[in-house]
């Protein structure tokens, strides 16, 4: 008679170990501001894509993961963007082409799930305020009504879901990518401390970007080499997520539109050096290296000199008295 026991019908295999990392104290991601979390989220998403893995918000069929995936896609699209949001219809078309919304095969089903996520506070929807400036077909196709409000847009950055999306992404990273994302989050926080409330350059419009760059150049006594200017802004914590090549591209656009003035390296600037070579960028067949100052000499603090009032000698006063 065998002593082996027949396994019970209710036997279940041991569940796989959780991917959630144990925390013994405040994490690098916990001290980030909303803007810092946005930077860390983009970095973590890039790491995830580099590992050839699908974003977790699109693998999991939960409503929270659905909202995270939709917002992530909204931040990466260039079609259908309106202010801080993306029209629902073109966003759905993009997600369907990527096969990232199997739970919502039709636009109507996609809209219904968006409303459920919105009602639970997982993402933010918005109304198109200037519909006359947009394609009326896109506006009509994107419309979804909730009570007395008609929405057309998915907000690209949801205040309520930013940290939840970051948590979802970092939990799906491999240990190596997680460490890199954590190190990057620490740098983002350090940059935030150095910025002292100033926005990141990458978040500014071209006009605001040019104005900020010009202000920093004008602080110096001479025109600024591009690479030295970039290093100065990076030291101030304002170049987070903005590489040197992207910085040069924005400088080129600002120069093209007349917001900044760039010039080539000249003999008066001295001998060629590595900083000059690293600053070079082409524009219409010309090599540019330097951002020009626009500051004018400061006026004399006391203004234009006033005429001196000198009292007349006593003998003149006496003679004038006798004549009278």
Q: What is the model's pTM?
A: 0.54
* Best mean pLDDT range from 13-22, 130-139, 237-246: 237-246
196, two tokens? 């002292």
Q: Is 80 exceeded by the pLDDT of residue 312?
A: no
Parse the chain into domains and list their residue ranges: 52-172, 198-291
Q: CA-CA distance, 56 to 169, in Å (whole number)?
A: 6
Rounded CA-CA distance 251/191 in Å is 22
DSSP 8-state assignment for residue 61: -
Q: If you average pLDDT over every residue of the chain, what do you get?
A: 78
Residue 4's pLDDT is what? 46
Q: What is the pLDDT of residues 186-227, one digit of tens each?
A: 988 888 888 888 888 888 888 889 999 999 999 988 899 999
Surface-to-core class of residue 110, CB atoms within 10 Å of its CB (0-12 exposed, 13-18 middle, 19+ buried): buried
CA distances from residue 309 to 306, 312, 321 in whole angstroms, order as listed = 9, 9, 21
If you count them, how many residues does the chain have? 324
* pLDDT range class, residue 151, cuts 50, 70, 90: very high
Instruction: Give the pLDDT confidence of 48-74 residue by residue, as tens digits.
Output: 777 654 444 443 447 777 887 888 788
d(CA 265, CA 287): 8
Q: In the block, which residue shows the tokens 């304002």? A: 238
The hierarchical CATH code for the domain 198-291 is 1.10.10
Q: Where are the alpha helices (DSSP H) in the chain?
A: 34-50, 56-59, 63-76, 88-97, 107-119, 136-142, 162-172, 175-195, 206-218, 226-235, 244-256, 274-279, 314-323
Q: What is the pLDDT of residue 299?
A: 54
């Amino acid at each position: 008679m065998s002593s082996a026991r027949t396994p019970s019908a209710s036997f279940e295999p041991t569940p796989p170990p959780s991917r959630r990392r144990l925390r013994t104290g405040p994490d690098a991601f916990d001290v980030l501001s909303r803007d810092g979390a946005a930077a860390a989220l983009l970095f973590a998403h890039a790491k995830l894509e580099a590992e050839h893995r699908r974003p977790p918000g699109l693998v999991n069929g939960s409503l929270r993961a659905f909202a995270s995936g939709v917002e992530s896609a909204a931040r990466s699209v260039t079609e259908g963007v309106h202010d801080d949001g993306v029209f629902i219809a073109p966003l759905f078309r993009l997600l369907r082409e990527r096969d990232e919304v199997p739970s919502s095969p039709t636009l109507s089903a996609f809209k219904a799930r968006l409303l459920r996520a919105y009602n639970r506070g997982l993402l933010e929807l918005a109304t198109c305020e200037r519909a006359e400036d947009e394609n009326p077909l896109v506006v009509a196709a994107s419309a979804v009504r909730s009570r007395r409000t008609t929405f057309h847009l998915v907000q690209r950055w949801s205040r309520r879901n930013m940290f939840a999306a970051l948590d979802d992404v970092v939990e799906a990273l491999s240990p190596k990518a997680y460490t890199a994302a954590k190190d990057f989050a620490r740098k983002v926080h350090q940059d935030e401390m150095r910025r002292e409330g100033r926005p990141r350059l990458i978040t500014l419009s071209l006009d605001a970007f040019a104005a900020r760059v010009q202000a920093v150049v004008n602080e110096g006594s001479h025109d600024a080499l591009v690479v030295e200017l970039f290093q100065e802004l990076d030291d101030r914590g304002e170049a987070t997520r903005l590489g040197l090549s992207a910085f040069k591209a924005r400088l080129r656009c600002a120069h093209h539109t007349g917001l900044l003035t760039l010039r080539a390296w000249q003999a008066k600037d001295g001998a060629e050096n590595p900083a000059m070579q690293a600053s070079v960028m082409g524009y219409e067949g010309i090599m540019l290296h330097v951002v020009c100052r626009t500051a004018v000499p400061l006026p004399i603090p006391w203004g234009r000199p006033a005429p001196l009032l000198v009292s007349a000698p006593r003998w003149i006063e006496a003679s004038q008295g006798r004549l009278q």
